[in-house]
Amino acid sequence: MSHDPNCLFCRIAAGEIPAQKVYEDDELIAFKDIRPAAPVHLLIIPRQHITGLGDVTAEHEALLGRMMTLAPRLAVEQGATNGFRTVINTGPDGGQEVYHLHLHVMGGPRPWKHG
């Protein structure tokens, strides 16, 4: 499994940098975003260093499937019971800031929309 010692998310996966983890197994880690854009804002990352969605191949199909099936379960567990959104930013024009594949899972109650 590849690891980039200069990558923030590889360092989180290796336990070198703390994160508020909500899930982890041999292939994936999920943790709370440090700059949340919603009441529930998680990142799901593979332990394997993959730069971005543009770099995935057929060998990553099962991994991507696991990320996508984990997202709804974690969203609900973390309080996004009325819906959520998923986003994968890819490359500079796609808004990617950390060049390690990651799936944003965002949702939760939005009190500013009611009233």
| Range 59-67, long-range pairs (CB < 8 A, 24+ positions) | 63/27, 63/28, 66/27, 66/28, 67/28, 67/103
The answer to whether the CB of 75 falls within 8 A of the CB of 42 is yes
- Residues assigned a catalytic role: 102
